[in-house]
Amino acid sequence: MIVYRAQQQEERASACLGAIGDLFRRFEQGRCVAHELAVELLIDYGRFEAATADLLSTDANTVHPIVTLLRQAATLTGHLLYHCWQGSADSSGLYARRFQEALEQIAAVPLPQTLHMRVPEGYAYYGLYPETYLEAANAFWHEHQSREVTCIGIRSIGTSLSAMVAATLEECGCSVHSYTVRCQGHPFDRRLVLALELEERWRASGHGHFLIVDEGPGLSGSSLCSVAQKLADLGIPDDRIVFLPSRSTDGTDLVSATARRRWPRHRQYLVSFADLWIKSGCMARWLPGGRITDVSAGQWRPLFFPQEAQYPAVQPWHERRKYLCVMEPAPTLLLKFAGLGRYGQSIHARARALAEAGFHPPVVGLAHGFLVMEFVHGRAMTQEHLDASFLDRVVQYLAHLSRLPAVGTPMPHEEVIQMIEGNVAEGLGQSWAHTFAHARFPHATQDVLSGATDGRMMLHEWLHLDSRYLKTDAVDHAVDHFSPGCQDPAWDMAGCLMEWGLDRPRQNYLLGQYRAATGDSTLPQRLPFYTIAYLAHRLGYATLAAQTLGPQSPDGRRFQTLAAHYNRLLQRELSQL
């Protein structure tokens, strides 16, 4: 099933380097927000480094003078963040000067003109904080006191994470050799290809520890384990190969059989977000007097639904971190992870705009990647409350979105078609895929894409307050890494029609009011294609979530029910072609 989309865009290397220079100057001038600027600098430079290294090491991971220069500068960004985290930003002047010199050196070397820049998903969506790797590196150092370490980051996001680890170990007095690598092959069966010179360098460092740094393990764990396997092939003992991952596992839950066998052979060091930011009181320090409660991973549902039978299905791994902060007598706040650096800033700007227009809960600010909002006590919408006043408000919301600039990168139309074909074939069978392949949708092209979209028009995400309705979870689904990204407004309309169980009169009312509000007269002609696209995506998502969570999980069973529901709806829509 296809539910994810690739997020990669081309940018000129000179423009990227210029933006990093501008950000660095802001860091030097902005001591009051130095920590958040240091985080942003580490992330943005890491994206640039990873994209450049990918183009300079296409066939095999190699030792390249430009890659070495880039790596040295990356470690300096780690030092800057290290000092900010320790509360000693003023003592980072030496590293700031060295980073400025490194930028000038990088600007003078022949870089690829165009880079393929990827979104670092952990920083943008999943609440991955580089400071947790700083503390994991500290934990490793305090246990081993190793005088020499080889630090290997797996590109893409392991680029900046390993810079953080390398800098921390250097601050501890350790001699660090730092590299980044790109693993190849199927996501469940990665392999690492090294140039001979790099192999020889790693062999020569075999008396020290090797730290493998990445965001994983994902479902398979094959990226981290492929690096460990390569080190083992080079004669490095298993007890000198260490994992610094983002989540703890004993390896039994990994899809890759090879990874399951290798994972238990190696020590792993990690510090969780909850331990570092919540239990330590770190988050409470910038929310003085607040009592913080975790409502992530579906724990928000009891706040809006009196009975568990009413709970909507939740895939906990895909939910952003959320916390309630009770600050009596001040209003209760809701903190939701929006993204670090540029990613959180764009979400914050969109949320503020929607709040000012009256469609979104009031926004208080953005702090350390969290969107801070007033917690709104409202009633989650249900089908029995779908009256004309609510439908009118939905139309006002969708019309408002249509007048806003598009956000994020849309999933190309040909990829939407591939998603439909793949999910229909796997979920319904080849005969239904054949039906879709022979259908014609002359009005469904990306040429009509204009304005912003919500991306997720679930009924329970609308709150009914005494005389108004607010749309929660309204700012990130069009820019996350699930299909379809920002799309034709027909996608959101299809979501309303398919999720809310509207009868024909209310469907016609909604469509008529939307046309009157927007002047979009061709939406009914585009709607059949986007209805099928929407259902194919939701079928794929629900199916994978059910498989991942399993029938023993209440949410796994909820997703099984949803998958059967989307299956029936999709067959109905395809049969009308």
Residues 520 and 492 occupy one common structural domain: yes
pLDDT band with cut points at 50, 70 and 90 for residue 219: confident
Q: What's the rounded Cα separation, in Å, for the pair 209 and 236?
A: 9
| pLDDT tens digits, one per residue of 134-145 | 999 999 999 999
Q: Are residues 431 and 396 in the same domain?
A: yes
Same domain membership, residue 56 and residue 29: yes
Q: Cα 380 from chain centroid?
A: 26
Tell me the average pLDDT across 364-369. Answer: 94
Clarify whether residues 370 and 383 are in a common domain: no
Element (H, E) at 523: helix 523-549
Domain closes at, from 353, 374, 395: 374
Q: Which amino acid is at 121?
A: E
CATH number at 567 reads: 3.90.1200.10
Element (H, E) at 393: helix 388-402
Residues 356 and 399 in one domain: no
Mean pLDDT, the chain, as a whole number? 93
Share of the chain above pLDDT 70, in %: 98
Q: What is the mean pLDDT of residues 169-181?
A: 97
Alpha helices in 463-502 (DSSP H): 489-499
Domain membership of residue 462 (yes or no) is: yes
Domain boundary among 348, 374, 400: 374
Check whether residue 547 and residue 571 sit in a common domain: yes
Q: Is the pLDDT of residue 570 over 80?
A: yes
Average pLDDT value for residue range 215-239? 94
CATH label of the domain that carries residue 322:
3.30.200
| Contact (CB, 8 A) for 61 and 172 | no
- Number of folded domains that form the chain: 3
Amino acid 406: pLDDT:
82
Does the pLDDT of residue 187 top 80, yes or no?
yes
pLDDT band at 329 (very low <50, low <70, confident <90, very high): confident
The dihedral built from the CA positions of residue 12, 14, 20 and 25, taken in this order, carries a sign that is negative
Pairing of strands 8-12, 114-118: antiparallel
Note whether residue 21 is domain-resident: yes
- What lies within 8 Å, CB to CB, of 9 at 6+ separation is 116, 117, 409
Q: Is residue 266 part of a domain?
A: yes
**Residue 253 maps to a domain:** yes
Q: Is residue 402 part of a domain?
A: yes
- Please check whether residues 369 and 385 belong to one and the same domain: no
Instruction: Report yes or no on 2 lying in a domain.
Output: no
Q: Does the pLDDT at position 300 exceed 70?
A: yes
Structural domain that includes position 141: 8-271
**Residue 127, pLDDT score:** 94
Helix extents (H) in 62-129: 65-85, 93-108, 121-124
Give 362's DSSP letter: P
Same domain assignment for residues 333 and 454: no
Do residue 539 and residue 558 come from a single domain? yes
* Residue 461 confidence (pLDDT): 94
CA distance 69 to 109: 10
261, 240 Cβ separation under 8 angstroms: no
Secondary structure of the chain: what % helix, strand, coil (to 5)? 55, 15, 35
What pLDDT sits at residue 450? 63
**Partners of 380 in beta bridges:** 463
pLDDT band at 446 (very low <50, low <70, confident <90, very high): low
Q: Is it the case that residue 571 has pLDDT exceeding 90?
A: yes
Evaluate whether residue 236 is within a structural domain. yes
Read off the pLDDT of each residue in 397-411 and give the average, rounded to a whole number: 87
| Pair 221, 352 in one domain | no
Check residue 557 and give its pLDDT: 97
Write the pLDDT tens digit of every residue in 409-429. Answer: 778 888 999 999 999 999 999
- The answer to whether 59 and 20 have CB atoms below 8 angstroms apart is no
What's residue 447's pLDDT? Answer: 56
The pLDDT score that the predictor gives to residue 405 is 85
Residue 106 has pLDDT above 60, yes or no: yes
- Say yes or no to pLDDT of 6 above 80: no
Residues 30-63 have pLDDT tens digits of 766 789 999 999 999 999 999 999 999 888 899 9
Dist CA 333 CA 372 (whole Å): 7
Nearest to 271 by CA among 144, 124, 165: 165
Global pTM value: 0.93
| Residue 423, both tokens | 């999910």
Write out pLDDT tens, residues 80-94: 999 999 988 777 889
| pLDDT surpasses 60 at 344 | yes
CATH number at residue 113: 3.40.50.2300
**Is the same domain home to 364 and 402?**
no
Listed residue (48, 28, 47) closest to 38, CA to CA = 28
Q: Let me know if residue 277 belongs to a domain.
A: no
User: pLDDT tens, 111-160?
Assistant: 999 999 999 999 999 999 999 999 999 999 999 999 999 999 999 999 99
**pLDDT (0 to 100) of residue 577:** 87
Average pLDDT score over residue span 279-308: 87
Q: Specify the residue for token string 């979530």.
A: 545
CB 107 within 8 A of CB 85: no
- Tell me what pLDDT residue 449 has: 56
Whether residue 353 sits in one domain with residue 388: no
- Residue partners of 276: CB distance under 8 A and separation at least 6: 129, 131, 132, 135, 282
